[in-house]
């Protein structure tokens, strides 16, 4: 696992200094070894976290004979089988395999790869650069073309350092985060900078960019509107498939640990890892001082069942506030919640314990249908058939029984009115997400009207252009899965809360539920088996009966949350970030100053309910993260390469 950077340039006075600076800014991703390569018109570099082939696999890797240079961030879990298949075991390392496979198959080599990766390959002979990103977007890759210089990096901060100036935060990103909770397509949090989309590759030559998507989620392969309900468990043993996926990712020359959230997904992973390890493993959890968010009771049940060597970190409101700015600096994007902060602190604990690799359960809810939104989609459709029914909307109460507003009769009537607004919009391909996205209308008064008046309509139009042809062909369950995977999973859970928080501390996350073969196999199963009678992840739970205690297996899905806006207002005193944010509002042309001032006054009210509304939390955290991004990004432009040693330097001029 690494951080990779590079640029194709026209006129630069000192390219070695530029590339060294870029690598330096990614040293947290790869603290073990650094390297740079420079040739006429191109430089690349790597900051390496050594996990596999520790003594070999140095990067960048230069093929002198064919004039090809490669940089690689990630893991190729099937690289040994590919070496055996194509090269008769005559190759030793992942990096060598990738280059040889590219020479053999050109861009199509990426279809053979099973793993999580960002790859750059530069062909010196024809001055052509190739970038590749894994199927689900587990590993990040950003790029920009400016003044005839094409620059790419695992993180945005290195792009800032190349140009030595600040890129403005994108207000469109602020609005996207307010509406769909993240960015989509190739958008990122900064103007003029893009991300390479998951499952895609990019080619740059002669100042021109071309892109192609090499993979589409197999969930879309099932084209029938009405799904088959038959499923033969003898043909596909879910337990065996999940175990194979976990075993496939026990990869490298270092040990591993596992996150233990208290939910069924991480409990299954920790159980399988313990079995494969033939003994206790190290597990790590987040606890909260505020019992409303704490899941330590459930975590301890799994810990005791598998007898793991368990460590946990207890998070206070002060921890959230004090580490928010640093978290935003590493996430490099707008946030709609504070949940990445505890993950940043937890990965630090993992690193300090001596681990470089940690297994985590992201992807299970999307693949096996574990989110409330999937059941909500069905409930709303069921309700729409008899709108005046008093009983059908009560299913929402059952689904969201853990949320206090759904159990308050007065508030529930207001909630019903909100749901009724688009209950009959059944032909909308985004029907499953309309309730979530429509909340944008209730918070847009926090933004200058001329900046946001058309954003909702423009976003829906853009998303329709991307998804219309595919989502219209498939079932409404699968459409909901695709939307969730390609927005929130790829751009938030795997990024802001995943890669960016673990790699901030030089820890690599492994995601077995997103194993290529597992996700393909599960995509062929009817959604009626995955979500049965509103029982989320029914298929996954049933597949582990008799192996894991029922009290763990049947625990309801509880969304991972952390203290939000009120974390910045404690003991009649607001955090210094809030004061800085208020000062910034005086000159901010995007936000409505009075609306935020009123909101902050509400937060400071001692009589306020400790759990404020989700929308108010979202808009405050989003705006505060925008301020932190602008504040911290100026540091990325500074010339701080002095005294930073590059371990490997190679030239070809």
In sequence order, the β-bridge partners of residue 142 are 153, 195
How far apart, in whole angstroms, are the C-alpha atoms of residue 134 and residue 119?
Answer: 9
- For 185-205, the pLDDT digits (tens) are 999 999 999 999 999 999 999
In sequence order, the β-bridge partners of residue 3 are 47
Domains 2-217 and 228-362+494-553 share a fold: no
If one counts every other C-beta atom within 10 angstroms of the C-beta of residue 477, the result is: 20
- For 241-261, the pLDDT digits (tens) are 999 999 999 987 788 999 999
Cβ proximity of 113 and 94 under 8 Å? no
Q: Distance between terminal CA atoms of the chain?
A: 29
pTM: 0.95
Task: Compute the average pLDDT of residues 61-67.
Answer: 94
Pick from 50-64, 219-233, 503-517: least confident: 219-233
- For 413-454, the pLDDT digits (tens) are 888 999 999 999 999 999 999 999 999 999 999 999 999 999
Paired sense of beta strands 68-76 and 61-63, if any: antiparallel
- For 212-234, the pLDDT digits (tens) are 999 999 998 765 544 544 445 44
Class of CATH domain 228-362+494-553: alpha beta
Residue 592 has pLDDT above 80, yes or no: yes
CATH superfamily for 2-217 is Aminohydrolase, N-terminal nucleophile (Ntn) domain (3.60.20.10)
Confidence of residue 643 (pLDDT cuts 50, 70, 90): low
* Domain residue ranges of the chain, discontinuous segments joined by +: 2-217, 228-362+494-553, 372-474, 565-632
- Specify the pLDDT at position 219: 92
Mean pLDDT of the chain: 92
- Specify the pLDDT at position 229: 46
Q: Is 345 left (phi over 0), alpha (psi -120 to 50) or beta?
A: alpha
**DSSP annotation string for 95-125:** HHHHHHHHHHHGGGGGGG--EEEEEEEEETT
If one counts every other C-beta atom within 10 angstroms of the C-beta of residue 274, the result is: 18
Task: Compute the average pLDDT of residues 396-421.
Answer: 88
CA 556 to chain centre: 23
Confidence of residue 635 (pLDDT cuts 50, 70, 90): confident
Task: Compute the average pLDDT of residues 357-367.
Answer: 97
3-state DSSP percent of the chain in helix, strand and coil, to 5:
45, 15, 35
Residue 608 has pLDDT above 90, yes or no: no
Scanning 28-147, the segments in alpha helix (DSSP H) are 79-87, 94-105
């Amino acid at each position: 696992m690494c951080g990779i950077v590079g640029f194709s340039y026209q006129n630069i006075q000192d390219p070695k200094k530029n590339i060294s600076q870029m690598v330096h800014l990614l040293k947290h991703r790869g603290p073990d070894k650094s390297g740079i390569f420079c040739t006429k018109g191109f430089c690349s570099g790597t900051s390496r976290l050594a996990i596999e082939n520790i003594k070999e696999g140095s990067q960048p890797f230069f093929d002198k004979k064919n004039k090809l240079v490669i940089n690689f961030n990630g893991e190729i879990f099937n690289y040994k089988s590919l070496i055996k298949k194509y090269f008769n075991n005559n190759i030793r390392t992942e990096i060598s395999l990738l280059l040889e496979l590219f020479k053999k198959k050109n861009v199509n080599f990426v279809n053979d790869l099973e793993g999580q990766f960002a790859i750059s390959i530069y062909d010196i002979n024809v001055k052509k650069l190739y970038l590749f990103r894994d199927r689900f977007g587990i590993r990040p890759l950003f790029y920009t073309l400016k003044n005839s210089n094409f620059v790419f990096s695992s993180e945005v901060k290195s792009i800032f350092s190349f140009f030595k100036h600040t890129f403005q935060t994108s207000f469109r990103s602020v609005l996207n985060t307010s509406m769909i909770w993240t960015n989509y397509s190739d958008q990122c949090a900064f103007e003029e900078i893009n991300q390479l989309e998951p499952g895609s590759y990019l080619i740059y030559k002669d100042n021109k960019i071309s892109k192609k998507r090499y993979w589409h989620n197999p969930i879309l392969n099932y084209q029938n509107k009405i799904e088959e309900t038959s499923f033969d468990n003898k043909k596909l043993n879910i337990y065996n498939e999940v175990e194979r996926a976990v075993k496939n990712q026990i990869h490298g020359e270092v040990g591993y640990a596992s996150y233990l959230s208290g939910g069924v997904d991480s409990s299954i992973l920790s159980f399988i890892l313990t079995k494969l390890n033939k003994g206790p493993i190290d597990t790590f959890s987040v606890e909260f001082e505020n019992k409303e968010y704490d899941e330590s009771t459930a975590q301890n049940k799994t810990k005791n069942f598998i007898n793991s060597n368990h460590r946990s970190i207890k998070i206070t409101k002060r921890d959230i506030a004090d580490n928010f700015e640093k978290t935003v600096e590493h996430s490099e994007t707008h946030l709609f919640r504070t949940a990445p902060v505890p993950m940043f602190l937890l990965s630090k604990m993992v690193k300090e314990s001596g681990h470089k690799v940690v297994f985590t359960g992201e992807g299970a809810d999307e693949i096996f249908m574990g989110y409330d939104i999937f059941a909500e989609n069905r409930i709303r459709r069921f309700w729409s058939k008899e709108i005046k029914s008093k009983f059908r909307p009560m299913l929402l109460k059952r689904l969201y029984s853990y949320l206090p507003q759904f159990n308050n009769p007065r508030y529930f009537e207001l909630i019903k009115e909100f749901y009724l607004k688009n209950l009959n919009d059944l032909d909308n391909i985004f029907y499953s997400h309309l309730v979530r996205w429509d909340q944008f209308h209730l918070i847009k008064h926090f933004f200058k009207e001329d900046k946001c008046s058309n954003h909702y309509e423009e976003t829906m139009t853009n998303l329709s252009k991307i998804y219309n042809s595919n989502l219209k062909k498939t079932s409404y369950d699968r459409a909901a899965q695709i939307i969730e995977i390609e927005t929130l999973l790829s751009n938030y859970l795997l990024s802001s809360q995943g890669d960016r928080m673990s790699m901030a501390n030089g820890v690599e996350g492994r995601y077995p539920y997103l194993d290529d073969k597992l996700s393909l196999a599960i995509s062929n199963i009817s959604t009626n088996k995955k979500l049965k009678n509103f029982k989320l992840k029914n298929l996954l739970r049933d597949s582990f009966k008799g192996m894991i205690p029922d009290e763990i297996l049947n625990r309801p899905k509880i969304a991972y949350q952390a203290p939000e806006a009120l974390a910045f207002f404690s003991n009649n005193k607001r955090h210094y970030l809030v004061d800085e944010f208020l000062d910034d509002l005086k000159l901010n042309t995007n936000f409505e100053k009075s609306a935020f001032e009123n909101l902050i006054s509400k937060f400071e009210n001692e009589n306020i309910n400790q759990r404020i509304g989700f929308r108010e939390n979202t808009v405050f955290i989003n705006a505060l993260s925008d301020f932190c991004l602008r504040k911290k990004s100026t540091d990325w432009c500074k010339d701080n390469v002095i005294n930073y040693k590059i371990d490997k330097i190679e030239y070809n001029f």
